Amino acid sequence: MTTTTTTGTTKVYRVYIKATPQAIWDAITKPEWTRRYGYQGIAEYDLRPGGAYRARAIPEHVETGMPEVPVEGEVIEVDPPVRLVQTWRPTWLDEPATRLTYEIAERGNGVTSLTVTHELEGAPQTMAQVSGEVESAGGGWPEVLSDLKSLLETGTSLYA
């Protein structure tokens, strides 16, 4: 189940996954995992404060006109496997970077919660896209988190 809360320009998404915190951390930060769900971007993290973040597009998406690096940012805070804070900016939009926080908490019985908080002040186009409100841009965070949950719990992406 995915829950969504909106407060002003901050969106909070929470999903409960039958997986360990480390498995979820790896699925967020390791390219061999990020390639398998959501928009299939190949994540590149320099996991230290001030380190770079880039999501590289897969060749099939570049062929359709997507930039080679559709999302970029900077790592702000790292506490594996429980917290990652970074900036997040779609390179095709003329908007400022936004703040993205992943919080991972073990809940017991093999269940872990993943809370994604996306602070989107000054970035209305980004907010519409990550919320899944732009028809041609996919389902945003709700779709990505649902796909991540499916992959970790079943070994298969929603669209495999």
- b or e along 27-60 (b: 16 or more beta carbons within 10 Å of the residue's beta carbon)? bbbeeebbebbbbbbebbbeeeeeeebbbbbeee
Q: Considering the entire predicted model, what is its pTM?
A: 0.93
Digit-by-digit pLDDT tens for the chain (160 residues) are 456 666 689 999 999 999 999 999 999 999 999 999 999 999 999 999 999 999 999 999 999 989 999 999 999 999 999 999 999 999 999 999 999 999 999 999 999 999 999 999 999 999 999 999 987 778 899 999 999 999 999 999 998 7
Sequence-distant (≥ 6) Cβ neighbours of residue 156 within 8 angstroms: 150
- Domains, the chain: 2-154 (3.30.530.20)
